[in-house]
Amino acid sequence: MHLKKVEMIGFKSFANKTTIEFDSGFTAIVGPNGSGKSNITEAIKWVLGEQSAKSLRGRKMDDVIFGGASNRSKAQYAEVTLVFDNSDHLLNIDTDEVGMTRRYTRAGESTYMINRKNCRLKDMTELMMDTGIGRDSFSIISQGQVEAIFMQKPEDRRAIFEEAAGVMKYKNRKKEASNKLEHTQENLDRIFDILKEVE
Ligand code: ATP
């Protein structure tokens, strides 16, 4: 599986529809300061589920939408699609190509799509979990992160290996199941209390 292309419309400095293609192998993006290189990485992170505007160098989520220029009015929405080559079916979807889309409007409406079909953010994160391309995976290493990894406590660093080994998905499911169990136990306790009262 590899990222074949990134399509952006109205995302940050990319007002027009812009497609960046990645061949297999090594791709380098070069350009003058302020030309939008980091915005491309942020577009990828955004689709992968980044929820913090600060991590995308903004104050609020609106800041990802093209804010206008002297010759161009601002965009009403931002949309980014990541197209993955899925011929090895690493992503658990039947198609040889998978498109993941995130769209955000100035009215604050968020849409997530897999192969242009609406889905929940959870569906997207679950699909990506343990493939090495999740939001918190290490497929994107930002400036300063390498140093931060070296400075981490061993148990925090273990999470990197867990993600790579593919156990994160099961850890998350275990946590969800324990929460449900806890909730059910509370309900049971309440029922026993009521039963005691009526007996
Ligand atoms: P450097 O080499 O200095 O790190 P870069 O090529 O990585 O630069 P970016 O930081 O990706 O460039 O792009 C910054 C540019 O994007 C700035 O000119 C900024 O004005 C523009 N920009 C960011 N958000 C928006 C937005 N919402 N609307 C329009 N332009 C935006």
Give the pLDDT confidence of 114-154 residue by residue, as tens digits. 999 999 998 998 888 767 777 666 677 777 778 888 888 98
The secondary structure of residue 118, as a DSSP letter, is: E
33 CB under 6 A from ligand 1?
Answer: yes
Cβ(91)–Cβ(169) below 8 Å = no
- The greatest distance separating any two alpha carbons of the chain, rounded to the nearest whole angstrom, comes to 79
38 CB under 6 A from ligand 1?
Answer: yes
pLDDT of residue 136: 65
Question: Token digits for 54?
Answer: 């600060």
Segments making up each domain of the chain, as ranges: 1-135
Mean pLDDT across the chain: 90
Assigned superfamily of 1-135: P-loop containing nucleotide triphosphate hydrolases (3.40.50.300)
36 CA from centroid of ligand 1 (Å): 5
Question: Token digits for 71?
Answer: 């010759």
The residue whose CA is least distant from atom 1 of ligand 1 is 33
Is 49 known as a binding-site position?
no
Query: 189: which residues sit within 8 A by CB, 6+ positions away?
Result: none
Reported as a single tens digit per residue, the pLDDT across 19-68 is: 999 998 888 999 999 999 999 999 999 999 888 888 888 889 999 999 99
Measured between alpha carbons, how far is 155 from 161 in angstroms, rounded to an integer? 10
- CA 73 to the chain's CA centroid: 28
